Structure 1
Amino acid sequence: MTFKLGILEVGRPPENLRNTFGDYPSMFEELLRPRGADWHYMSYPVVDGQLPQTVHDCDGWLITGSKYGVYDDLDWIGPLKTFLKQAYSEHVPIVGICFGHQILAEALGGKAEKSDKGWGCGVFTYYVLQSPNWMPEGLTSFSIEAYHQDQVVRLPEDGDVIASSDFCEFAAIDYKGRALSFQGHPEFSRDYTVALCNERRGDTLPEDIADRAIASNDAPMQISEVAHMIINFIQQAAVREKQEEL
């Protein structure tokens, strides 16, 4: 039976970039499928108030990034936290990216807020603190795109920090092998990040921050390594879930 990954769409790229780069669910499929995740990908427009009926509608869940904050007064934020808390308690694998990283922490008892460190945009390097067996052997750091002002500032009780940086202390979190989250964006290509920064430069994104982010895109990235982390993690968590059901 084909594994079903449900992508919880909590944000969308600017409309004039979607024709070129697609939406966030398609970016994740393009990240994961070519690297061995030949799964059935299902998208749920949570940003429009549409959650799955149950946490078992799919075999695992992935929460996308968003322009919104977990503290925003939006009708779908509370129900999404409840959904994630239930999925976690029932051992359905979860992966969170950026906003997904932050709301997963909040749902499980942590705290996220707008950071006094300001914007983190462009290619950032995160240093590995722990190496679970789903992480590529010998990996000591990884660099991926980032685009955020908010950060997790209090770790949930079940959370273990597996990667960190001076700018982002809780950059990647492992929740007892049942959920995994990253502050950075492995699904963002260089071209998309540059286009996004140019789109928002001088508007929601200060010009100097946009310029630095664009300049950083000459740096090497470990997109494949992070993609394989996500795939390996989901596969291991799904096997563990099935074993616990027996």
Structure 2
Amino acid sequence: MRIGVFLCGEVAPELFEQHGKYSAMFESLFSDHTDDIRLKFYNALNEEFPSNESDCDGYIISGSKYSVYDSDKWIESLSAFVARLYEKKIRTLGICFGHQLIASTLGGEVIKSEKGWGVGVSAHNIVRRPQWLHTNHKHPNSISLLVSHQDQVISLPEHSDLIASSEFCPNAMFCVRNYFLGIQGHPEFNKSFSRGLMQHRRDSIGEIAYEKGVESLSKSVDKPEITQSIVSFFLDE
């Protein structure tokens, strides 16, 4: 299965030498599933899009330092492409910014949350369990992911099913008509990059949120489970 990945941001120069490109993070995420998943990358910032929606079997929209309500032309163009993917029922996953773009494109609402930044490891309660969702047997009713965001989806599009929620982020994971999936967390991140990103954004995040975020890195992350969930979602298992 060929999955097109829209890269909506670049790793900051200060973090690049140690952590590499976002494309490498996605390749690492699916490294155990190369027989099933092949990735093709598109630079959304440069409005690089497939010639046809069917060029790939499914798509991933990455995170970004930008907001879906910004007026940049590439965001408008990507949103239009996402709308066509939805019309053609092509399986699509949005991560962080991508999660928010799916919601915004399909009629939901995204704002900069007055709760401030969510960073580090965040646990979300499972409120609905699709067939493709895998969870850790040690805590089967929740899923923990690395997060880095200040924008949030505050209302879901029509025909959405909420999958995971927390007090801080009520709409942490949702699915639209079973073929569009939004995840606020970052399955592709590891803890080392999360720590570096928090340090890089420390002034913006604020000292209290920064310290709590760094402390949270001692908690476990359900990366294998969410990766298997994503693979199962795309393969319709």
| TM-score bracket for this pair, using the shorter chain length | over 0.9
Maintained 8 Å contact 2:47/2:78: no
Contact 1:127 1:165 in 2 (8 A): yes
Kept in 1, the 8 Å contact 2:165–2:171? The answer is yes
| Identity level (%) | 35
Please report how far the alpha carbon of residue 220 of structure 1 lies from its aligned counterpart in structure 2 after TM superposition.
1.0
Q: Residue 78 of structure 1: CA displacement?
A: 1.0
What is the CA distance between 1:36 and its match in structure 2? 5.8
Residues of 1 paired with 2:71 and 2:103: CA distance? 18
Structure 1, unaligned runs of 5 or more: 238-246
How many residues were matched structurally? 234
TM-score norm. by structure 1 comes to: 0.91
Compute the TM-score of the two structures, normalised by the length of structure 2: 0.94
How far is 1:33 from its partner?
2.4
CA distance in 2, matches of 1:37, 1:193: 28
Quick one: structure 1 residues 37 and 111, their matched pair in 2 at CA, closer, same or farther if it must change by over 3 Å? farther
Q: Name the SS for the 1:186 alignment partner.
A: coil
Q: What pairs up with 1:1-246 in 2 under 5 angstroms?
A: 3-35=1-33, 38-136=36-134, 139-202=140-203, 204-236=204-236
CA distance in 2 between counterparts of 1:29 and 1:55 reads 22
5+ residue gaps, structure 2, are: none
Partner AA of 1:186 in structure 2: P
Q: Give the superposed CA RMSD.
A: 1.5
Deviation, 1:25, is 2.2
Please give the alpha-carbon distance, in whole angstroms, between the structure 2 residues aligned to 1:72 and 1:179.
22
SS at match of 1:56: helix
